[in-house]
Amino acid sequence: MATYRTGTIATSACEAGGLPRHRTGPARVACAACRSALRPRAAAPATRDRCWPARPAAECTAGWPQLRIQPQRLGARPLRATAGADAAAAVTDEPAPLLRAQLPIGELTVRPLVERDVRGAALLLTRAFAGSPEAVSLQEATEFISDQLRSPELGVTLVARLVPTDPSLLPPGQTTRLVGTVGLAFDLSEAASRDGLSRLRALPPASAYLSNMAVDPKLRRNGVARAMLRGCDAAAAGCAAGAGARSEVWLHVREGDEAARALYAGFGYDEMEREAQQSGGLLGFGFGGAPRRGRILMRRRVGFPE
């Protein structure tokens, strides 16, 4: 009895078998009706879903296991045309990073905020300023950040995300941790009207106003704030969507907040003037509140050494 392996279609003249009996695939084949010698015919195309000569589809595919394709996903987003591709290389809606920094606690990325960051950034702001004159509610912070996200020409909110060296710092099911946020206003007239800071109207046109710097209280003094200041420089220089190049960045710091003053001065911000006592409210929000101490107006020229 003759048998043939893959690549050859076996046929028999046996009428009892009806149509030539054959299978595609790696199995040995023979005429099951008469056990007569099989005569080889030209090799068939190597396909999984087609036999040669033509046979009914049910018979043609019977010799192959059903192909099961598991859809690939990136979070809640389905990936298309990714068979055999690396899901990590799929395109996402995240903007390009403004800065990457290697810190003692892990790798930090600073980039513009996107929709999925809104709640985390709002939570960070409310926790960072809780108990201070700048304290605001979670709802107020969320609404402000969402409004700014919809109007990139007015300003941008940056977030710092950490891939920690210590995995226990990660939230459940997450690969990064949001550890910082800061706002940068490009339209100073809008910022002055919103915040009640009339002094901003007199700033040079090619300026940006920095506010609402917040770092995760558990991870302070690890270089996160300084990395975000560098990210603000990049955004002010025109790297953020909706902004032309800005030559200066201005900010306010509370009198008596020596740690913040030292941070900004160490990064190249110069004290320009001191302002009288202002009403409360998170810088950049202008919600009002209890009286607080005066503020110091500081400036940095973008591109100058830190």
User: pLDDT at residue 44 above 80?
Assistant: no
Backbone angles phi, psi at 11, to 5 degrees: -130, 160
Number of domains in the chain: 2
Would the CA dihedral through 14, 18, 19, 22 be positive or negative? negative
The verdict on 39 and 140 lying in the same domain is: no
Kindly tell me the burial class for residue 258, based on how many C-beta atoms sit within 10 Å of its own C-beta (0-12, 13-18, 19 or more).
Answer: exposed
User: pLDDT at residue 235 above 50?
Assistant: yes
The verdict on 170 and 272 lying in the same domain is: yes
In 3D space, the residue among 277, 245, 276, 272 whose CA is nearest the CA of residue 261 turns out to be 272
Span 174-190, mean pLDDT?
88
Comparison of pLDDT for 282 and 272, the residue scoring more: 272
User: pLDDT at residue 154 above 70?
Assistant: yes
User: pLDDT at residue 263 above 60?
Assistant: yes
Expressed as residue numbers, the domain containing 149 is 107-301
| pLDDT (tens digit per residue) in 2-30 | 444 444 444 444 444 444 444 444 444 44
User: pLDDT at residue 244 above 70?
Assistant: no
Note whether residue 71 is domain-resident: no
The verdict on 142 and 235 lying in the same domain is: yes
Note whether residue 287 is domain-resident: yes
The verdict on 162 and 293 lying in the same domain is: yes
Cβ neighbours of residue 147 closer than 8 Å, sequence gap 6 or more: none
